């Protein structure tokens, strides 16, 4: 049986690094921008919000999956002992 975590972690890791680098770039560019016109005050925060939302969209399902995994593991461990002994034989 092929588990998703065997091949799915690398694209998500690259995506999260890309999003974090973009957030850093927008924040750094906004803080140290030489020209301070109205377009700068609109575009950089808009990009920052965009990548922050992408980061939340990436991390929220992962947190939900981890919580569901913990609940399922807790449920299976709370089952009576004869289920585990009958599958071992």
Give tens-digit pLDDT for 20-47. 999 999 888 888 877 777 877 888 888 8
Query: What is the average pLDDT score of the chain?
Result: 81
pLDDT at 5: 66
Cα distance between residue 21 and residue 36, in whole Å: 23
pLDDT at 57 over 80: yes
Is this structure's pTM higher than 0.85? no
CA pair distance 75, 69, nearest whole angstrom:
10
Query: What per-residue confidence (pLDDT) applies to 7?
Result: 67
Closest CA to 5 of 59, 62, 53: 62
């Amino acid at each position: 049986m092929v588990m998703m975590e065997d091949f799915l972690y690398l694209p998500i890791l690259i995506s999260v690094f890309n999003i974090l680098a973009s957030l850093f770039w927008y924040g750094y560019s906004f803080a140290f921008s030489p020209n301070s016109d109205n377009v700068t005050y609109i575009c950089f925060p808009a990009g920052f919000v965009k990548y922050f939302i992408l980061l939340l969209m990436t991390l929220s399902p992962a947190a939900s999956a981890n919580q569901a995994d913990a609940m399922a593991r807790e449920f299976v461990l709370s089952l009576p002992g004869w289920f585990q002994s009958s599958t071992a034989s």
